[in-house]
Structure 1
Amino acid sequence: MEFVRELNDFQIYGPNHTEYISNYRYKYALPFEKVEDPRGWTVNVFQRYWHHSITISVVYFIIIKAIQKAMENRKPFVLKTPLVLWNGALAIFSICGCVRFSEDIIRALYVDGLYKSLCYSCHPNDVAAFWSLLFAISKIVELGDTLFIVLRKKPLIFLHYYHHAAVLIYTVHSGAEHTAAGRAFISMNYLAHSCMYSYYAISAAGYRMPKWVSMAVTTIQTTQMLAGVAVSCLVYKIKTEDKLPCQQSMANLYLAFIIYITFAVLFIQFFLKSYIFGSSKKQKKQ
């Protein structure tokens, strides 16, 4: 990067392209909550090798199918303690990520307004960037969720592995482009996963919660997908109608539309099947 010039409270980077980035720095940060990358190696890895997120997703799918095949004539593993620890650890991580990362988007909405909140990405070296990087790494770690399903011989629905693979690909692609709308997407995902993994951990420990709790978790996930569609629509309007600069390429925006619309449809379908039509069928059988 050959130059940095101030633009109100934001910076524009060059020389070959323009990036719209927030100047906001957290007042309180732990010593490790920063991204020290003076030579741009982290960004370079994302930009040069983001397509390998597709490779990882394909390998993930093949491995899962192979394990399912191998488990056909075997008894399911119990894995109660590992499952509690796994979901508990991801719940704690998601809660910490939600608390720390959300400061960036909440402050941006309150101080800078909707446009800059959606079209200027977080500061590349500060706390929000650190939790963005951990978020991207967590999408690889979360592929392990599926192992517990297949090893315990539980039903594996299309929504599950499609969601894991698609989120990984989109997250890495967005990281490569410093997609500004990621501030909203990451905050929503951290919040949804805080609820989801907490619910999974409690359930895995053997505590049976009322039906409304699982319905609430699915509702939060579905709302997240619909909100993702709404954010993408706003960014599309900003870029095409308002003709304002925005740190999100059209390719990444179209990918967001595809992913969030399909997610919304699949989650709505899952909700109806699990809690509406499924409940009606059970009542008729009784």
Structure 2
Amino acid sequence: MLGLGEFQIYRNGSETLHSEYVYKYALPFEKISDKVWWTMFFQAYWHHSITISIAYYVIIRLIEKWMQNRKPFDLRRELLIWNAGLAVFSWLGLIRFSEDFLYNWYTHGFKYSICYSCNPDSVAAFWSLLFAVSKIVELGDTLFIVLRKRPLIFLHYYHHVAVLVYTIHSGAEHTAPGQAFISMNYLAHSFMYTYYAYTAYGKRVPRLVSMLVTTVQTAQMFAGVGVSIFVYNLKVYNNYKCQQSMANLYLAFFIYVTFAILFIQFFYGAYIKREKRKKVE
């Protein structure tokens, strides 16, 4: 499939370009007991992230149809718990995972930090695995939308399935720029789910805050495009070794470009266009 299934890691004795950073403080469970097994598992079944995405879309549409003649569910308490839980997870993930990435950036430079994946025997690998699992869990966001009969936009479900597929594939080949991508996503989701939890609690926030959250999300997409272009130049024009296949790199570029376009459209429609409409009225 466009070279996406041609993995080399842990095959024929091959290894990865990865960081050697070891955390000074690590909890007993913050490790992966069998990194090879998990990697081979992702390599063998990564394509089922597409299967899950298709099933997710079909189920969501069926629930929407089922809800057409029903009253929306009151899920305020459940929504608060859901968003608060994901906010806590995102903040913890940001703090624990990004330490490896930031250390390498500060110590070895940015080029090294996005061409060498996180240490597969350290804490960051554990939080990287949890990150991949969380992309399946986060599909539950959509259930709250359809069961409460709120508008479901294309950006929402496209974002969920695209991130899921890319994350699982990246885990299968230990994509090094994932150091930056995961750190950025943990950061954006920390703000996003904290904001969602606060509003689910019944609190109103200034319009500027919601604009800031969307801005952080949009900036993440542009940063993803920038990192992808930077890695492409390193690999193609500088013959610099980076732990990322060209197939995965092209996929990252496509996904982040489409995300950037869709988030700009959303920002314009939600804030600028709506503000203009209010002024006219």
Is the TM-score greater than 0.5? yes
Structure 1 counterpart of 2:16: 19
Question: 1:217 pairs with 204, 213, 218, which one?
Answer: 213
Structure 1 counterpart of 2:64: 68
- 3-state SS in 2 of match to 1:32: coil
Task: Give the partner amino acid of 2:183.
Answer: S
Question: 2:82 pairs with 81, 86, 89, which one?
Answer: 86
Q: Within 5 Å, which residues of 2 pair with 1:5-44?
A: 15-37=12-34, 40-44=36-40
Say which structure, 1 or 2, has more relative contact order (CA 8 Å, 6+ apart): 2
Question: 1:169 pairs with 154, 159, 165, which one?
Answer: 165
- 3-state SS in 1 of match to 2:18: strand
How far does the alpha carbon of each residue in 1:68-90 deviate from its partner, in whole angstroms, 9 at most, with x for none?
00000000001000000000000
Question: 2:105 pairs with 93, 106, 109, which one?
Answer: 109
Identity level (%): 63
Structure 2 counterpart of 1:181: 177
Q: Within 5 Å, which residues of 2 pair with 1:179-258?
A: 179-258=175-254
Task: Give the partner amino acid of 2:38.
Answer: T
Structure-2 change in CA distance of 1:66 and 1:265 (3 Å): same
Offset of 1:114 from its aligned partner?
1.4
- 3-state SS in 2 of match to 1:179: coil
How far does the alpha carbon of each residue in 1:126-181 deviate from its partner, in whole angstroms, 9 at most, with x for none?
10000000000000000000000000000000000000000000000000010000
- 3-state SS in 2 of match to 1:21: coil
Higher strand fraction: Structure 1 or Structure 2?
1
Structure 2 counterpart of 1:45: 41
Task: Give the partner amino acid of 2:194.
Answer: S
- 3-state SS in 1 of match to 2:17: strand
How far does the alpha carbon of each residue in 1:185-212 deviate from its partner, in whole angstroms, 9 at most, with x for none?
0000000000000000000111010000
| CA distance, structure 2, for counterparts of residue 125 and residue 89 of structure 1 | 27
| CA distance, structure 2, for counterparts of residue 125 and residue 35 of structure 1 | 7
Structure 2 counterpart of 1:141: 137
Task: Give the partner amino acid of 1:276.
Answer: I
| CA distance, structure 2, for counterparts of residue 153 and residue 279 of structure 1 | 25
Offset of 1:116 from its aligned partner?
1.1
- Contact 1:13/1:20 (8 A) holds in 2: no
Query: Does 2:148 align with 1:152?
Result: yes
Structure 2-normalised TM-score? 0.95
| CA distance, structure 2, for counterparts of residue 42 and residue 13 of structure 1 | 11
Structure 1-normalised TM-score? 0.93
Offset of 1:283 from its aligned partner?
2.2
Task: Give the partner amino acid of 2:97.
Answer: F
Unaligned runs of 5+ in 2: 1-8
- Contact 1:25/1:126 (8 A) holds in 2: yes
RMSD: 1.2
How far does the alpha carbon of each residue in 1:2-45 deviate from its partner, in whole angstroms, 9 at most, with x for none?
xxxxxxxxxx977454521111111111111111106x221111
| CA distance, structure 1, for counterparts of residue 86 and residue 271 of structure 2 | 26
- Aligned positions, number: 273
| CA distance, structure 2, for counterparts of residue 82 and residue 44 of structure 1 | 36
Task: Give the partner amino acid of 2:34.
Answer: D
Structure 2 counterpart of 1:281: 277
How far does the alpha carbon of each residue in 1:75-116 deviate from its partner, in whole angstroms, 9 at most, with x for none?
000100000000000000000000111111110100011121
Task: Give the partner amino acid of 2:71.
Answer: K
| CA distance, structure 2, for counterparts of residue 149 and residue 14 of structure 1 | 43
| CA distance, structure 1, for counterparts of residue 177 and residue 201 of structure 2 | 36
How far does the alpha carbon of each residue in 1:203-225 deviate from its partner, in whole angstroms, 9 at most, with x for none?
01110100000000000000000
Offset of 1:284 from its aligned partner?
1.4
